[in-house]
């Protein structure tokens, strides 16, 4: 059993320079003991001149999420020169995220920070999500575009609802 398994963990968020999220995540992991940092990314499909391809984009530009021991204090050593502007803190001055914000970051960590395609099958006039990130968010799907094979979900972070399109692939229903 590693030390990561024994110590109580919490989730936090750092505000950083847009476009420097990966460097900021690496800096946080280097400075802070027993801390994992991720940049939330999303696989997107683009079509240019009738050619379709996938690309990975940062889902929340300017933000890095991290998982650390609850009583971690080394965040105080993080400086702007290292791409991190600040660690987001509550009104009480705590770096730990709570409630839905913590659940969102935990969900992002469960997918390694990379939100890829979900799988679904068609059921009459609707789709049923059977795997991937949309399965976890089925109750939050607000719009489905069958032609583009995408679903819009509401992702809530820091009290703001952020509409986000995620892709799904239709698969054969298993009986």
Which of 89, 116, 143 delimits the end of a domain? 116
pTM of the shown model: 0.76
| CA 126 from centroid of its chain's CA atoms | 26
Number of domains observed in the structure of the chain: 2
Same-domain pairing of 108 and 121: no
- Tokens at 169, concatenated: 């692939």
**Residues 72-100, mean pLDDT to the nearest whole number:** 82
Same-domain pairing of 109 and 67: yes
How much is the CA Rg of the chain, to the nearest whole Å? 18
CB 56 within 8 A of CB 112: no
DSSP character at residue 81: G
Per-residue model confidence as pLDDT tens digits over 153-172:
877 777 778 788 777 776 56
Specify the pLDDT at position 1.
43
Query: Which residues form the domain of 166?
Result: 117-175
Q: How confident is the model at residue 63 (pLDDT cuts 50, 70, 90)?
A: very high
Q: Answer whether residue 138 shows pLDDT above 70.
A: no
- 75 or 56, which is more confident? 56
Same-domain pairing of 3 and 88: yes
Same-domain pairing of 14 and 91: yes
Specify the pLDDT at position 126.
65
Same-domain pairing of 109 and 129: no
User: pLDDT over 90 for what percent of the chain?
Assistant: 29
Please report, for the domain that includes residue 45, its CATH number.
3.30.70.940
How far apart, in whole angstroms, are the C-alpha atoms of residue 30 and residue 174?
A: 46
CA angle 168, 99, 87 (to 5 degrees): 95
How far apart, in whole angstroms, are the C-alpha atoms of residue 167 and residue 145?
A: 9
Per-residue model confidence as pLDDT tens digits over 93-131:
889 999 889 988 999 999 899 888 777 766 566 667 777
């Amino acid at each position: 059993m590693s030390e990561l398994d024994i110590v109580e963990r919490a989730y936090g968020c750092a505000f950083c320079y847009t476009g420097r999220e990966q460097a900021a995540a690496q800096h946080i992991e280097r400075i802070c003991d027993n801390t994992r940092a991720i940049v939330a990314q999303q696989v997107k499909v683009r079509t240019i001149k009738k050619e379709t391809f996938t690309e990975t984009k940062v889902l929340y530009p300017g933000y890095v999420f991290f998982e650390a021991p609850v009583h971690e204090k080394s965040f105080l050593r993080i400086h702007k020169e290292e791409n991190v502007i600040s660690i987001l803190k509550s009104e009480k001055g705590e770096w730990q995220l709570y409630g839905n914000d913590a659940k969102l970051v935990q969900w992002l960590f469960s997918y390694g920070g990379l939100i890829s395609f979900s799988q679904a099958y068609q059921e009459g006039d609707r789709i049923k999500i059977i795997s991937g990130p949309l399965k976890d968010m089925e109750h939050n799907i607000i719009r489905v575009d069958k032609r583009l094979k995408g679903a819009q979900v509401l992702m809530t972070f820091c009290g703001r609802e952020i509409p986000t399109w995620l892709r799904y692939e239709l698969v054969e229903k298993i009986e």
